[in-house]
Structure 1
Amino acid sequence: MRRDLSRLLAPQSIAVIGGGAWCRQVIMQAQKMGFSGQIWLVHPGRIEVEGVKAVADVRDLPGPPDAVFIGVNRNATIQTVKALSDMGAGGAVCFASGFSEAASEDAQSQNLQAELVAAAGDMPILGPNCYGFINALDGALLWPDQHGCKRVDRGVAILTQSSNIAINLTMQRRGLPIAAVVTCGNMAQISQAEIAMALLDDPRITAIGLHVEGFGDPSAWHALALKARDKAVPLIALKVGASEQAQTATVSHTASLAGSDAGATALLRRLGIARLDDLPSFLETLKLLHCNGPLETNALSCISCSGGEASLAADTATNMRLHFPPLKAAQKTALSDALGPMVALSNPLDYHTYIWGDVAKMTAAWLPMAASHVGLLMLVIDYPHTDASDWESATQAAIAVRARSGRPVAVVATLPELMPLDVSDRLMAAGVTPICGLCEAMRAAEAAASIRRPPDDVPPVPPGPERMSNMLSEAEAKTLLQRYCVATPNSIVSDRPPDASTARGLAAPLVLKGQGRAHKSEAGAVRLNLTHEALTRAAQEMSANSFLVEEMVQGAVAELLVGVTRDAAHGFVLTLGTGGVLTELWQDSVSLLLPVKETDVADALETLKTYPLLTGYRGRPAAHMDAIITAVMAVQACVIAHADAISEVEVNPLICTPERAVAADALILMSPPTHVQGGLNEPDQDHPKRGRFAGHIGPAQSECH
């Protein structure tokens, strides 16, 4: 249910309940911000704070307040919320801690949070364990501490679960206009996504930055992304938790690669939300988006008056999704006219200092670099803190280039402290983005360019209920995958050590595997390139309860990993990567959330280091790309059909040849058959060794192409 947060976030009247320093600060900060509405105070002692006289009880207030700061203990908070809800208040900030965040120390805490939500009913509440919000557009805030915001006409919104990080972000001195800050606390009732959706209704919000600890319901974030797209308001996220790895009981290579953060990365990519990894880049990206919106392309131009800075800019962008396109003929002509023959023309450009101080000539020299095929022009300018008067010409020229070209322009200080605040404010007012730090500038450009990809209209496949999973034998896993048109080698299964006669229907060379192990190679349970005659001895040397004999796939161009893991927080994560026994060593992978389209798979494959092998490296044969994509889509079909049962699927390696893509090994973890959608049939009586999935729902092998 979406609640109406308009009264809470843009109140005409506010009430403060409680006493002490925190409540005094709320009143002081509202008065300092110039809040024009009514301010009321509730305290049993009928005290007076900052000129506001208290009433003893909420029932004594002149009317239902739009927004309330509740600064009393956790038990009293629940009672107060119930009284406010009954009287029709617009919403409340629950400052008290000791709710779900303290559950590990206090068993009662979780119950208290549930009681708080029940007491609120339909009335929206922020928190608990929450500082509140700042609305710098209307001068309305419930905030119990200092902050660095000032009134603005338009600007960005910042949402975070951390009140301390929120305070620090308001103290930025980078020229970023902050329109709203909301701390979300425990999000007992209202999620971060729901708050962001409410902020999107205000046309004065130019971009939204989200400091995210956990996503919760992916469908709510999907709804947010779609609304942000429709409103043309870009979203970025600083997602924490990348260092937490879910590898304590890793069965497959996929789980080892994915860890706990791949799902978050895949979700953000799917939603068209750019991800940042540090607070300075987070702020600089918001600044860039406030001035320009998403960049049209990741192509950059860069200008500096030093060859060292030009090289540093190029090096900083290395390994990022950015590039500096070579100068076009028209650009070279215009630059030659402006700079003369003494300057070597390139991108990044060192224009030397021959024209320094002449605004007209500097503008003429910089203007060709703000070309239509370039997403952002970066002007590297460091203002000295001693005497920056000679740098006035650079400021004027940057503003002139922005005005005449209409293209995105940023003035970048290589060191953050070399961007004066007064200059930053002037540049921002003229639509030029002042960026503090060269690394931050590159990260911001990369993020702003990535947002040009819209969110997927289809929501992620939900993770479904928790389940206990068993590992199928390799033969069972392949039989199930075959039903969804995943190609596998011809094979036989034997409960006894096989010999030449057992495998007479198979063509050599052969592969012998001992079933029942996730990592057979490491356990010595795989023998390759066998003749029929060598099969008996190989089987005798292998300890296993069941044996799988297969025709060996030949003509490999490359080996891939195709894996899907159930991520309880985000959905089902598809991982594509370099396959084989050295998968973790290469760390060459990309993750997406199901469902994916064929074009998504093709684009993801192009990001892999092994992609040149797939396309025919140095004249070698290329892999059958359509067959690879078909195999991935078939794995997806299998997972979606059994989304309430499957925990993990891995095909590793998927052997890619010029003619086909074959699952040489497969692993599936899923709950017992009674929990599988549609149920499972008993083993096929005509083919008793095909496994218990032989008759399961899915297309017949003959229907696969």
Structure 2
Amino acid sequence: MTRLNRLLRPRSIAVLGAGWAENVIEQCRKMGFDGPIWPVHPKRATVGGFKAYASLTDLPAPPDATFIGVNRFATRDVVRELAAMGAGGAICFASGWEEAGEAGLQAELVAAAGEMPILGPNCYGVINYLDGALLWPDQHGGRRVDRGVALLSQSSNIVINLTMQARGLPVAYVACLGNAAQVGLAELAAALLADERVTALGLYVEGIDDAPAFAALAEAARAAGKGIVAVKSGKTEASRAAAASHTASLAGGGAASSAFLRQAGVAEVDTLSALIETLKIFHVHGPGLGARLCSLSCSGGEAGLVADLAAPAGITFPPVPAAKAARLGEILGPIVSIANPLDYHTFIWGDGPRTTDVFTTMLSGYDAGIFIIDPPRPDRCDPASFEPALAAIVAAQAATGKPAFPVASLPENFDEPRAVAMMAQGVVPLMGLETALAALRAAQVQPGLPGWRPLAAPSARPTRLLSEVEAKALLSRAGIAVPRGATAAHLADLVPALADLRPPFALKGLGFAHKTEAGAVRLGLADLAGQAEMPGAAGYLVEEMVSDACAEILLGLRRDPVYGVTLTLGMGGVTVEVLADTVTLVLPLTPDEIAASLRRLRLWPLLDGYRGRARPDLAALVAVAAQLCALMQGDDTLEEIEINPLLLRPSGAVAVDALIRSAE
């Protein structure tokens, strides 16, 4: 039970306004809502065929849910009156609040609501398909269900479009947040998932307002066997301070949000089609689909196509186990080559028992199976010949207990009645091969670590850029190796220091965020003879160069306004943004998580002794990353730390360039 229970599952509904109120009443009627509906209108005797009440005080009882379809100033006053009378909650439909510069008015609305929950303002509303209760002023494509998934969106149009799907997905709730002035994403999502009839949650997310609360929600959902899948928009948004560091540009927006969702155990997809297909998998099978997949089709072309499309989707097909291969060879004969993906040809087409035997034998060796099958369109063709194969897929799942997914190459090749019928049998048809592969990969999302919550997000504050000398001194105090060197205000003053250093040398001008671009780096020097002053330099640093490096790594941490602190690591050097081969993680982290993330780099083989290359000391890399994490967690004045490059040796690592920003 949550404070949103009356609003989401109302037994009585009040509606205010004229045209919008009539639309809400019409939708409730169509969906069979059997509770009282009370229109409130000061001048009309009836609204939408129901008796109208002149004011809220005339209602028979405080309503559980109210749709407020009046202007924003009247909305504030109505909310205050509803809260005073003990109403259960309200949808604030009107626009023109904070999104239009009326921040003060929105704050007044929240104050007027007090403890009564409100969704919005600027919110379309909520649809409850389980109980037929709609606080919704428009058309939609759903129907009554006994159980299904919840759809929660920060865009009304997006979620309306989702209700029009014809893919067999049963939808239990549709909800919009609007401006989320009072009830936020995590609270509304938790309230929807609290209904035992809800099987999974689909999100269209523009922003996450409370990352720790959202992580807690995701953990609770997983414990209840309910998967969450999200489309996160705005991933190309330029991050703050992007000009100051490589980390800021590489770890902005999309990288940080994707890292957070992954670590929280939330599946992320890029398209609405993949969102729907992943939700279908979660609805029937729950989260945590196994990664060992097989693929079966009766065509070599289909087998080749699925193999080609699987790799970009992050899916691999393990070889057929020997015992299974032998049995398949007995059934299919010597002409068929036993492989995964399997082209079983058409020798068994129409033979239900043999097809079932093949499908069951193959599926039993894996976590789940893809069965590519495109039934002919029923309006122009006869799909009867496909029925034995479809029945064999159902039988294989029943016999093995493993998920069997009939996959149509084109989404339109499974019509809605067939999709609904198969879902009712507990078999999930997936529409469109590329979308199916994306959904299957997303459904393999792993749970987050128990109790994992991101660090508190910082408030905006002015910062200053430390000089490289200051930055390296800080790193050295933290136990991170830096090159031996010396500093001076002028080049001539550096010459005596060279006697204590070993060439070759690196000469750097201080006071530049990006020294290479400013022409403030000179490498491989035997001495300083003939070196000219660097225009704009605030001093100079000369250092011993590292001669035995095996790899250049970027290591960067920064405070994120939503996710607390992020760590970005990957292939570094002057081409870091061209390569863009980095991974981003959200703190707190364990050394094992840091080490495992390296394998997600495209150029990981170069760090793993590719073609006899010297292996860099990855343990040293992980240790430096862990030290930096501890540094950021222990000193909240630090805003950003970037080492680029961290030079990895066969033994050890040296930070040869450092950028640190701290609070002023």
Specify the TM-score bucket, using the shorter chain as the normaliser.
over 0.9
Aligned residue for 1:126?
119
The answer to whether the Cα contact below 8 Å between 1:229 and 1:454 also exists between their aligned partners in 2 is: no
Aligned residue for 1:310?
303
TM-score normalised per structure 1: 0.91
Rounded to whole Å, the distance in 2 between the matches of 1:486 and 1:406 is: 52
Aligned residue for 2:572?
579
User: C-alpha deviations, 1:101-144, integer Å up to 9, x for none?
Assistant: 212xxxxx211111110110000011111111111112222111
Note if 1:613 corresponds to 2:611. Answer: no
User: C-alpha deviations, 1:545-578, integer Å up to 9, x for none?
Assistant: 3111112112111110001122212222211110
User: C-alpha deviations, 1:356-392, integer Å up to 9, x for none?
Assistant: 11211111111122135x3321111111112212212
Note if 1:471 corresponds to 2:460. Answer: no
1:425 to 420, 427, 430: 420
1:40 to 34, 38, 41: 38
The answer to whether the Cα contact below 8 Å between 2:166 and 2:415 also exists between their aligned partners in 1 is: no
Query: SS where residue 583 of structure 2 aligns?
Result: strand
Q: Following superposition of structure 1 onto structure 2, how do residues 364-443 of structure 1 map, counting pairs within 5 Å?
A: 364-372=357-365, 374-385=366-377, 386-387=380-381, 388-443=383-438
Rounded to whole Å, the distance in 2 between the matches of 1:455 and 1:423 is: 39
Deviation at 1:233, TM superposition (A): 1.1
The answer to whether the Cα contact below 8 Å between 2:242 and 2:249 also exists between their aligned partners in 1 is: no
Note if 1:538 corresponds to 2:531. Answer: yes
User: C-alpha deviations, 1:174-230, integer Å up to 9, x for none?
Assistant: 000101111111111000111011122112111101100111121221221222122
Q: Extract unaligned runs of 5+ from structure 1.
A: 104-108, 673-705
Rounded to whole Å, the distance in 2 between the matches of 1:435 and 1:406 is: 18
Rounded to whole Å, the distance in 1 between the matches of 2:524 and 2:459 is: 43
Rounded to whole Å, the distance in 2 between the matches of 1:145 and 1:511 is: 67
Aligned residue for 1:192?
185
2:482 to 471, 484, 488: 488
Rounded to whole Å, the distance in 2 between the matches of 1:544 and 1:116 is: 54
Query: SS where residue 530 of structure 2 aligns?
Result: helix
User: C-alpha deviations, 1:280-338, integer Å up to 9, x for none?
Assistant: 11101101111111244222211111111111111111223211001111211221122
1:654 to 629, 646, 654: 646
Rounded to whole Å, the distance in 1 between the matches of 2:476 and 2:264 is: 32
Deviation at 1:614, TM superposition (A): 2.2
Aligned residue for 1:278?
271
Q: Which piece of structure 1 moves more, 256-265 or 576-585?
A: 256-265
Deviation at 1:499, TM superposition (A): 4.5
Rounded to whole Å, the distance in 2 between the matches of 1:301 and 1:200 is: 32
User: C-alpha deviations, 1:134-171, integer Å up to 9, x for none?
Assistant: 11112222111111111111111100011111111111
Deviation at 1:49, TM superposition (A): 3.0
The answer to whether the Cα contact below 8 Å between 1:562 and 1:654 also exists between their aligned partners in 2 is: yes
Aligned residue for 1:82?
80
Aligned residue for 1:232?
225
The answer to whether the Cα contact below 8 Å between 1:509 and 1:529 also exists between their aligned partners in 2 is: yes
Aligned residue for 1:71?
69
Question: Structure 1 residues 47 and 316, CA, compared in 2 at 3 Å: closer, same or farther?
Answer: farther
Query: SS where residue 87 of structure 2 aligns?
Result: coil
RMSD of aligned alpha carbons = 1.7
Aligned residue for 1:675?
none
TM-score normalised per structure 2: 0.96
Q: Which piece of structure 1 moves more, 470-479 or 561-570?
A: 561-570
Deviation at 1:247, TM superposition (A): 7.2
Rounded to whole Å, the distance in 2 between the matches of 1:245 and 1:47 is: 54
Q: Following superposition of structure 1 onto structure 2, how do residues 323-402 of structure 1 map, counting pairs within 5 Å?
A: 323-372=316-365, 374-385=366-377, 386-387=380-381, 388-402=383-397
Question: Structure 1 residues 27 and 403, CA, compared in 2 at 3 Å: closer, same or farther?
Answer: same
Q: Which piece of structure 1 moves more, 438-447 or 264-273?
A: 264-273
Aligned residues: 660
The answer to whether the Cα contact below 8 Å between 1:263 and 1:571 also exists between their aligned partners in 2 is: no
The answer to whether the Cα contact below 8 Å between 1:355 and 1:362 also exists between their aligned partners in 2 is: yes
1:291 to 263, 269, 284: 284
Q: Extract unaligned runs of 5+ from structure 2.
A: none
2:312 to 290, 305, 319: 319
Rounded to whole Å, the distance in 1 between the matches of 2:251 and 2:258 is: 10
The answer to whether the Cα contact below 8 Å between 1:44 and 1:56 also exists between their aligned partners in 2 is: yes
The answer to whether the Cα contact below 8 Å between 1:130 and 1:186 also exists between their aligned partners in 2 is: yes
**Runs of 4+ with >6 A deviation:** none
Rounded to whole Å, the distance in 1 between the matches of 2:643 and 2:6 is: 53
Aligned residue for 1:683?
none
Aligned residue for 1:519?
514
The answer to whether the Cα contact below 8 Å between 1:245 and 1:261 also exists between their aligned partners in 2 is: no
2:104 to 80, 100, 111: 111
Rounded to whole Å, the distance in 2 between the matches of 1:27 and 1:76 is: 21
Percent identity between matched residues is 49
Query: SS where residue 592 of structure 1 aligns?
Result: strand
Deviation at 1:249, TM superposition (A): 4.9
